[in-house]
Amino acid sequence: MNSAIQTNIIRIIFVFLAQVLIFKQITFSLGGLAYIHFLIYPIAILLMPVKTSRPVLLVLAFIFGIALDMFYDSPGIHAAALVFTAYIRNIIIIFLEPFDGYNIDDVPTLKRMGTGWFVSYISVALLIHTFVYFSIEAFSFVFFFEIFLNTIFSFIVTFIFVLVLQFIFRTKY
Amino acid sequence: MYNVVQLFAKYGAHIMFVVLEIICFYLIINYNLVQKEIFLNSSNVYAAKIAQQQSKISQFSNLRNQNDSLMHENATLIENLITIEYSSDNIPEADSFYNQYSLIPASICNSTIHLRNNHFTLCKGSREGIKKDMGVISSHQGIIGIVRNVSENFSHVMSLLNSQTKISCSIKSRKGHGSLVWKTMDPLRMTLESIPKHEKIAVGDTVITSGYSTMFPRGILVGKIEKYVSIPGSNNYDITVKLFNDLTNIKYAYVIQNRLDTEQTKLEKEVVDE
């Protein structure tokens, strides 16, 4: 159990640094219609053990989001989206529960839960997160078309990248 | 107390979620300029869209009247052209009107007529070249007002029917000039002040702009003298003018652009400063 905590702390730090130092710099423009943002940071929260209690997830998401916002100069936007994702995460996990239930030390990674489970879990969670993030950023559903485009394109790119990362770093926890 | 603790044990995560989200949105609204503005104005976005649709519909249903008034206006313009061609003396400074002044057509988005101080909103703004203190006319026959405020796409016009209106006017083919003010609440009648008593005037004379300000060129038709009273003990007539145009029923306007505007005001200001 101890090494699970260690792995998660290291992962959170690495994801944070990667997001701030590398992925923040990368934005593509699709002919002025939509912008592609790499929003890989939700995996820091999404990959925590299945049985992590909700308050812990929420507080971690809040702190992580605020720290990220300091670098993005957008107080509260990432935090609000990430807290929402942390809240919705357990609901998704319950929906995807296998026949024989979860083990006490299950981790929602590709290696442990299998490709099918992981793909459906991470795609739903990331899609919701991206949509919520762009909605809060635009802050009004008048811009629904822009929100929609941004969400779709950013989601595809981020999703592919997260899968690749999972194939590279096959962590135990 | 026990109940409260139990409540927190049961719904703590949900309460925490709500509290954290509230904190986040508090931060968003207070420290992000764009989101703050949208939060304050989001209702305006919808309201503006609805108003735009409404004005589109009312414009469509008014097409017949609009066409009629456009045809009248064209007719007046053609008449003027003929007049200029055959007897250029009848309209003073006719050449200067066409060189110095140019017109920007605009449609009227919003107007008030029943207040003491009335205003118009034009659907064009600084992007089309409209500036503060330009004159606005509805056709060759009729002033609408003066531009008071301009944004990128809209301009705010002080209507002629406003207690602050004071426009320099004179009477066609007679001497002297006075100022046109709105004293009654009648949207068709205005008062012409400070025409001295020794000038001869008659009922039915045409009132035109004098051209002494930078806003309106000389010779724009304003109205006809309906009646006049010479007040005892005063030097001036009290003249009631019936306007040619009906300000309650206009949809289109022309903003007068004066090319020599800045030059004139600058020169006049220098004299005053001395």
| Token reading at B30 | 């207070």
* Predicted pLDDT at B96: 45
B residues 21-40 near A, CB within 8 Å? 21, 23-28, 30-32, 34-35, 38-39
Give A-chain residues touching B35 at CB under 8 angstroms. Answer: 77, 136-137, 139
Say which residue the tokens 């976005």 belong to.
Answer: B45
Q: Which of B16, B24, B46 sits opposite A80 (nearest CB)?
A: B24
- Is residue A109 a part of any domain in this protein? yes
pLDDT band at B88 (very low <50, low <70, confident <90, very high): very low
Tell me the H-state helices in chain A.
2-17, 43-46, 54-72, 77-95, 110-113, 115-138, 144-168
Distance from CA of A39 to the nearest CA of B (A): 18
- Is residue A37 a part of any domain in this protein? yes
Tens digits of per-residue pLDDT, B91-100? Answer: 555 454 445 6
CATH number of B62-257: 2.40.10.340
- Is residue A173 a part of any domain in this protein? no
Number of domains in chain A: 1
Q: What is the pLDDT along chain A (173 residues), one digit of tens a residue?
A: 577 788 888 889 998 888 888 888 777 776 666 678 888 899 888 888 888 888 888 999 999 998 888 888 778 888 999 999 999 988 898 888 877 778 777 788 887 788 888 899 999 999 999 999 988 888 777 778 888 888 888 899 899 988 888 888 877 66
Identify the helix (H) or strand (E) that includes residue B208: strand B206-209
Give B-chain residues touching A84 at CB under 8 angstroms. Answer: 21
CA distance B98 to B257: 11
Residues spanned by CATH 2.40.10.340 within chain B?
A: 62-257
Say which residue the tokens 């949809």 belong to.
Answer: B251
Q: Report residue B169: phi and psi, to 5°.
A: -130, 155
Taking an 8 Å cut-off on Cβ atoms, the answer to whether A83 and B21 are in contact is yes
| Token reading at A99 | 């026949």
Bridge partners, residue B158, by sequence = B119, B146
* Predicted pLDDT at A19: 87
Does any CB of chain A come closer than 8 Å to the CB of residue B18? no
* Predicted pLDDT at B85: 44
Nearest CA in chain B to A80: B24
| Domain range enclosing A153 | 2-168
- A and B: number of Cβ contacts within 8 A: 69
Q: Which residues of A touch B (CB under 8 A)?
A: 53-55, 58-59, 61-62, 65-66, 69, 74-77, 79-80, 83-84, 87, 136-140, 142
Interface with chain B: mutation pick from A51, A59, A62, A84, highest number of B CBs within 10 Å:
A62
Q: Is A23 exposed, middle or buried (0-12, 13-18, 19+ CB in 10 A)?
A: middle
* Predicted pLDDT at B210: 81
DSSP, residue by residue, A95-122:
HT--TT---TT---SHHHH-HHHHHHHH
Q: Which of A55, A74, A79 sits opposite B12 (nearest CB)?
A: A55
Identify the helix (H) or strand (E) that includes residue B144: strand B143-150
Distance from CA of B55 to the nearest CA of A (A): 20
Tens digits of per-residue pLDDT, B16-28? Answer: 888 888 988 888 8
Tens digits of per-residue pLDDT, B188-207? Answer: 889 988 888 888 888 888 88
* Predicted pLDDT at B47: 66
pLDDT at B177 over 70: yes
pLDDT at B43 over 70: no
pLDDT at B87 over 50: no
- Is residue A112 a part of any domain in this protein? yes
Q: Which of B12, B17, B24 sits opposite A79 (nearest CB)?
A: B24
Taking an 8 Å cut-off on Cβ atoms, the answer to whether A55 and B16 are in contact is yes
Count of C-beta atoms within a 10 Å radius of residue B64 = 8
CA distance B168 to B161: 15
CA distance B149 to B57: 27
CA distance B183 to B181: 6
Q: Are A118 and A166 in contact (CB under 8 A)?
A: yes
* Predicted pLDDT at B75: 59
pTM of the model: 0.48
Tens digits of per-residue pLDDT, B123-163? Answer: 888 888 888 888 888 766 778 889 988 888 888 898 888 88
Three-class DSSP labels, B147-174 = EEEECCCCEEEEECCCCCCCEEEEECCC
* Predicted pLDDT at B268: 82
Does any CB of chain A come closer than 8 Å to the CB of residue B9? no
pLDDT at B180 over 70: yes
In sequence order, which residues have a C-beta less than 8 Å from that of residue B269 and are 6 or more positions away? none
**Does ipTM surpass 0.85 in this model?**
no
